[in-house]
Amino acid sequence: DAGVTQSPTHLIKTRGQQVTLRCSPKSGHDTVSWYQQALGQGPQFIFQYYEEEERQRGNFPDRFSGHQFPNYSSELNVNALLLGDSALYLCASSSTGGTEKLFFGSGTQLSVL
């Protein structure tokens, strides 16, 4: 049973560039949530996707956008990268459109230079 998979594992970008991160949820899960975790901090909620729609959003600017595909996989896009966007980006999946018992992927470490 495949768990949550994320790609890439590491990414280095420069200010102003755009980045796309990918996530495949755990088998049987249909809800994907994205989190940003800065070093030494707890994960911060970015947004959540269910049935291909964004249904909850945290306090992140419109530079952060996402998408969910019919197979439940998801992408996180960040435009006009800032140095402060450097962080670990975590994808978490859950089942039945709920937010109970999140299962996390290994994350994508984004460095913005």
Partner 1 sequence: QKEVEQNSGPLSVPEGAIASLNCTYSDRVSQSFFWYRQYSGKSPELIMSIYSNGDKEDGRFTAQLNKASQYVSLLIRDSQPSDSATYLCAVNRPGTSYDKVIFGPGTSLSVIP
Q: Can you tell me the distance from the alpha carbon of 72 to that of 106, in angstroms, rounded to the nearest whole number?
A: 18
- Cis amide prior to 8 (ω within 30 degrees): yes
Please give the sequence-ordered ranges of beta strands (E in DSSP) within 14-107, or none if there are none.
Answer: 19-24, 31-37, 44-50, 53-57, 64-68, 74-78, 87-94, 103-104
Is 107 or 112 the residue whose CB approaches partner 1 more closely?
A: 107
- Residue 75 has φ and ψ, to the nearest 5°, of -125, 145
Nearest distance from residue 82's CB to partner 1, in Å? 22
Question: Min. distance of Cβ 80 from partner 1 in angstroms?
Answer: 25
52 or 80: whose CB is closer to partner 1? 52
Closest to partner 1 by CB, 65 vs 106, is: 106
**Shortest approach of partner 1 to residue 109 CB, angstroms?**
9
Q: Can you give the binding site for partner 1, defined by CB under 8 A? A: 33, 35, 41-45, 48, 50, 55-56, 58, 90, 92, 97-107
From residue 45, give the alpha-carbon distance in Å to each of 48, 72, 104.
8, 19, 13
Of 66 and 107, the one with the shorter C-beta distance to partner 1 is 107
CB of 16 to partner 1, least distance (A): 28
